[in-house]
């Protein structure tokens, strides 16, 4: 038998995939543009060595986030086999659990590994400029590859426990954020706490520790290297990733069968159902409240997780602001206008991300389970009523946090205006801050409207679970930023006036949002019923459409000849 046959097959399939080539070219192009822009901007305000070091650090941080969340590509690797019922067929052969785990790892991580590997020459540009040492570059690239491997191994282990792609992706995102951002904080546990040594040792399980210690030799921090400061966290986190793969290989042969519902499992499911949908009284009251307003609103509003998640996100940012307020009173920290503006941006991103997910996930899920087709075929609901019910569901989740965010942003605006006068972009700091805050809050409502229509259409047309929310957010948020950044670089830093920049950004954002919202609304109204059929045209390529057209033409010709003979 061939050694690791699935690995060989998946590598051959991925080598022929067009995404393997164009994906790494796209990431190299983006990182190259970012590196050139950062070098240009930093060289205008500082020396070449300091600018190259700052560019290296910034680019490495961005690539680390890419490596962390690239594991989401592996979140649906095993759960997809469970949904399609093909996981059990693999164990009818001589395949072992490690064969499948390593094969899935090769299939899902090859693209992201090639993308990361292709960016290393761009990352080496600051090395040529003299702001980064060779050892620092080597350690950083090694730590990035380790983060990538860790995230994919963790995602594969999580994928063995789920059957739904959305839940698997959510669990992976939650674990990655906890391991990468929260676990390293255990290094700062005070020694007075009992068990502090053990808690500080747990921080070694995170791959973030090795990456943070990789930039230990540089022109800004010419300190000596402690051997354990980089290599020990690297080895521990790397072995932990292999432990994830080993545990997944052991679980995999036992997780493909449908388990019976025992007493303990039944009680667990009952508790989970109450947490997800509420108790009986809550569900009855919700049904009476929403069913008369719009039946589709009640159908998609039964789960409480998105509403709870949004409030948790807003609450976390509020707690951070509260902590900053306490630090201000103690005299340890005094935030300026940029920090207050960043807090407002965080609130806006949380609201827009929730609206994007809420707008797309219901249509995507109901379409894939054929429930949307059943609703259109067996109920008197029209397309307009379904779309209006979806809008009511978005409003029900976002409205109260939106009002709270507006109140907090008004307080942040007042705090910023009471600070001492400063100068930004050659203008009054108070005027710049006020205009920026009004633009963020004014565009928030407009962006939520555009994201709602775009997310609904992306949910109807997405070919993979969970794909629509990300694409709608990119179209409404990222695309105007890229266009504005290109305009910013073309005009130049010195010639850019703040008021002109704000006007250009406003025009670009409004034009982009109106275009996508109008186009997606038109497509929803025209193609909603045809898109509700999951297997109508989803898996048909352009060659299939051409073949169907030729087949219809041949059939019509044959029928015409038969009629003429009669």
DSSP string for residues in 379-402: S---HHHHHHHHHHHHHHHHHHHH
Please list, in sequence order, all residues whose beta carbon lies within 8 angstroms of the beta carbon of residue 197, skipping any fewer than 6 positions away: 191
| 149 part of a folded domain | yes
Hey, which residues does 218 pair with through a beta bridge?
Answer: 132
| 207 part of a folded domain | yes
| 410 part of a folded domain | no
Nearest-angstrom CA–CA distance, 297 and 387? 9
Question: Element (H or E) spanning 428, and its range?
Answer: strand 427-428
CB 41 within 8 A of CB 493: yes
Q: What is the pLDDT of residue 468?
A: 66
| 113 part of a folded domain | yes
Q: What is the pLDDT of residue 411?
A: 83
Q: What is the pLDDT of residue 227?
A: 41
Q: What is the pLDDT of residue 164?
A: 72
3-class SS string, 467-524:
HHHHHHHHHHHHHHHHHHHHHHHHHCCCCCCHHHHHHHHHHHHHHHHHHHHHHHHHHH
Expressed as residue numbers, the domain containing 223 is 1-257
| 447 part of a folded domain | no
Please list, in sequence order, all residues whose beta carbon lies within 8 angstroms of the beta carbon of residue 447, skipping any fewer than 6 positions away: 348, 352, 476, 477, 509, 513
What are the pLDDT tens digits along the chain (566 aa)? 566 667 777 777 777 777 777 777 888 888 887 777 767 666 655 566 777 777 888 888 888 888 888 888 888 788 877 777 777 777 777 778 788 888 888 888 888 888 888 888 888 888 887 778 888 888 889 999 999 999 889 988 888 887 777 677 777 877 887 787 777 777 766 666 676 677 777 778 888 878 887 765 433 333 333 444 778 888 888 898 899 888 888 888 877 655 544 444 445 556 656 666 667 787 788 788 888 888 888 888 877 666 676 677 677 667 666 665 655 555 555 556 677 777 788 788 888 888 888 888 888 878 877 788 888 888 888 888 888 988 988 888 888 888 888 888 888 888 777 777 776 656 677 787 888 888 888 888 888 899 889 888 888 887 766 666 677 877 887 777 777 766 665 555 444 566 777 788 888 888 988 999 999 899 888 888 888 875 544 445 556 566 666 766 776 777 777 767 66
CB 366 within 8 A of CB 393: no
Q: What is the pLDDT of residue 254?
A: 76
Nearest-angstrom CA–CA distance, 243 and 128? 38
Q: What is the pLDDT of residue 537?
A: 45
CB 74 within 8 A of CB 149: no
With vertex at residue 21, the alpha carbon angle to CA 19 and CA 25, rounded to the nearest 5 degrees, is 105
Q: Domains in the chain: how many in total?
A: 1
Q: What is the pLDDT of residue 293?
A: 85
Nearest-angstrom CA–CA distance, 275 and 286? 15
| 345 part of a folded domain | no
Q: What is the pLDDT of residue 493?
A: 47
DSSP string for residues in 95-152: --HHHHHHHHHHHHHHHHHHHHHHHHHHHTHHHHHTSB-HHHHHHHHHHHHHHHHHHH
For residue 262, the SS3 value is coil
Q: What is the pLDDT of residue 541?
A: 56
Q: What is the pLDDT of residue 10?
A: 73
Please list, in sequence order, all residues whose beta carbon lies within 8 angstroms of the beta carbon of residue 3, skipping any fewer than 6 positions away: none
For residue 424, the SS3 value is strand
Q: What is the pLDDT of residue 263?
A: 41
Hey, which residues does 217 pair with through a beta bridge?
Answer: 222
| 561 part of a folded domain | no
Q: What is the pLDDT of residue 93?
A: 74
| 175 part of a folded domain | yes
Cα-based distances in Å from 122 to 63, 126, 300: 11, 8, 46
Nearest-angstrom CA–CA distance, 116 and 26? 11
With vertex at residue 290, the alpha carbon angle to CA 170 and CA 378, rounded to the nearest 5 degrees, is 85
For residue 218, the SS3 value is strand
Nearest-angstrom CA–CA distance, 97 and 109? 18
Q: What is the pLDDT of residue 13?
A: 75
Q: Tokens for 493, please give them.
A: 């830093």
Q: Tokens for 565, please give them.
A: 């003979």
- Find tokens 């966290």 and name the residue: 233
Rg (CA), the chain: 27
């Amino acid at each position: 038998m061939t050694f690791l046959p699935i690995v060989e097959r998946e590598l051959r399939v991925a080598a022929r995939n067009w995404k393997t080539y164009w994906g790494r070219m796209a990431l190299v192009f983006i990182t190259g543009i970012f590196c050139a822009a950062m070098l240009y901007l930093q060289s205008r305000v500082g020396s070449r060595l300091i600018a190259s070091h700052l560019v290296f650090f910034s680019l490495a941080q961005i690539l680390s986030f890419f490596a962390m969340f690239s594991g989401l590509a592996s979140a649906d690797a095993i759960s997809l086999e469970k949904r399609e019922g093909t996981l059990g067929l693999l164990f009818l052969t001589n395949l072992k659990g490690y064969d499948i785990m390593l094969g899935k790892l090769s299939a899902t991580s090859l693209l992201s590994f090639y993308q990361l590997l292709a960016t290393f020459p761009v990352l080496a540009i600051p090395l040529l400029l003299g702001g980064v040492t060779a050892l620092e570059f080597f350690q950083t690239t090694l730590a990035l590859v380790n983060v990538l491997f860790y995230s994919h191994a963790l995602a594969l282990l999580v994928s063995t426990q789920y059957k739904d792609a959305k839940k698997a992706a959510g669990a992976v995102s939650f674990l990655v954020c906890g391991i990468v951002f929260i676990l390293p904080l255990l290094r700062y546990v005070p020694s007075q706490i009992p068990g502090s040594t053990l808690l500080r040792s747990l921080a070694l399980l995170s791959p973030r520790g090795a990456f943070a210690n990789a930039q230990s030799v540089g022109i800004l921090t010419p300190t000596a290297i402690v051997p354990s400061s980089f290599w020990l966290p690297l080895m521990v986190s790397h072995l932990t990733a292999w432990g994830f793969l080993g545990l997944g290989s052991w679980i995999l042969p036992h997780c493909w069968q449908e388990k019976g519902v025992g007493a303990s499992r039944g009680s667990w499911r009952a508790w989970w159902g109450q947490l997800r949908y509420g108790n009986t009284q809550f569900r009855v009251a919700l049904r009476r409240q929403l069913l008369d307003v719009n039946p589709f609103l009640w159908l998609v509003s039964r789960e409480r997780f998105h509403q709870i998640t949004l409030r948790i996100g807003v609450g976390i940012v509020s707690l951070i602001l509260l902590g900053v307020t306490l630090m201000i009173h103690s005299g340890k920290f005094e935030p300026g206008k940029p920090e207050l503006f960043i807090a407002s941006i965080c609130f806006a991103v949380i609201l827009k991300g929730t609206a994007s997910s809420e707008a797309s996930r219901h249509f995507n899920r109901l379409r894939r389970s054929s429930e949307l087709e059943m609703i259109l075929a067996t109920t008197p609901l029209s397309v307009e009523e379904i779309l209006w019910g979806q809008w009511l569901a978005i409003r029900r989740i976002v409205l109260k946090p939106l009002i709270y965010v507006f109140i907090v942003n008004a307080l942040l605006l007042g705090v910023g205006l009471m600070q001492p006068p400063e100068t930004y972009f050659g203008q009054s700091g108070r005027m710049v801050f006020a205009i920026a805050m009004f633009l963020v809050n004014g565009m928030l409502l407009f962006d939520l409207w555009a994201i709602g229509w775009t997310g609904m259409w992306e949910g109807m047309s997405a070919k993979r679970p969970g794909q629509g929310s990300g694409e709608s957010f990119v179209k409404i948020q990222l695309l105007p930023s890229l266009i504005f950044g290109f305009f910013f670089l073309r005009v130049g830093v010195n010639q850019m006036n703040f008021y002109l920049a704000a006007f250009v950004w406003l025009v670009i954002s409004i034009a982009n949002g109106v275009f996508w919202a109008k186009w997606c609304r038109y497509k929803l109204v025209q193609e909603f019923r045809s898109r509700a059929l999951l297997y109508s045209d989803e898996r048909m390529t352009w060659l299939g459409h051409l073949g169907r057209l030729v087949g219809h033409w041949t059939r019509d010709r044959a029928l015409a000849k038969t009629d003429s003979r009669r």
